[in-house]
């Protein structure tokens, strides 16, 4: 169902594999997480009334990123804070990952397209990414 990748008590990523099925809406991230990751599921005929979400000021100190693979194959490498490789995750169409902590890199194994979502606002590439030397 959900695979959680942790190292020394820190959650680095959560993966929802394409074949995961739930009967009811299920969020996998802890409620206190600044990025909520889950699956929406309802039976035919369900209607959610029109609504919006209450605005309130949130302070986000951790930038998380999510990928949903639409086509192709991509490898996501996860590294700890010291640059040691923790894991390689090979993802295919329908697989989704949220990157929570640590350093990550991607390698495209087959031409791919992913939906990606992360918190904004976007401040430009020069302020957004910090490149890190890692073990391979």
What's the angle, vertex CA 51, arms to CA 47 and CA 54, rounded to 5? Answer: 145
The confidence band for 119, taking pLDDT boundaries of 50, 70 and 90, is confident
* Domain chopping of the chain, boundaries: 2-44+61-119
DSSP 26-65: EE-S-TT-SS--EE----TT--PPS--PPP------S--E
Class of the 2-44+61-119 domain?
mainly beta
pLDDT reported for residue 71: 98
pTM confidence score: 0.87
Chain mean pLDDT for the chain: 91
Plot region of 128 (φ>0 → left; ψ -120 to 50 → alpha; else → beta)? alpha
pLDDT tens-place string over residues 8-64: 999 999 999 999 999 999 998 888 888 888 999 999 999 999 998 899 888 888 889
């Amino acid at each position: 169902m959900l695979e959680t990748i942790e190292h020394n008590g820190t959650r680095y990523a959560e993966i929802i594999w394409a074949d995961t099925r739930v009967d009811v809406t299920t969020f996998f991230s802890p409620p206190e997480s600044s990025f909520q990751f889950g699956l929406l599921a309802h039976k035919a005929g369900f209607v959610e009334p029109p609504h919006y979400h209450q605005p309130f000021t949130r302070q986000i100190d951790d930038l998380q990123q999510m990928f949903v693979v639409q086509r192709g194959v991509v490898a996501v490498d996860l590294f700890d804070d010291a640059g040691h490789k923790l894991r390689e995750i090979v993802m295919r169409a329908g697989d989704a990952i949220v990157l929570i902590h640590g350093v990550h890199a991607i390698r495209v194994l087959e031409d791919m397209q992913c939906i990606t979502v992360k918190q904004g606002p976007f401040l430009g590439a020069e302020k957004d990414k910090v490149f890190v030397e890692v073990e391979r």
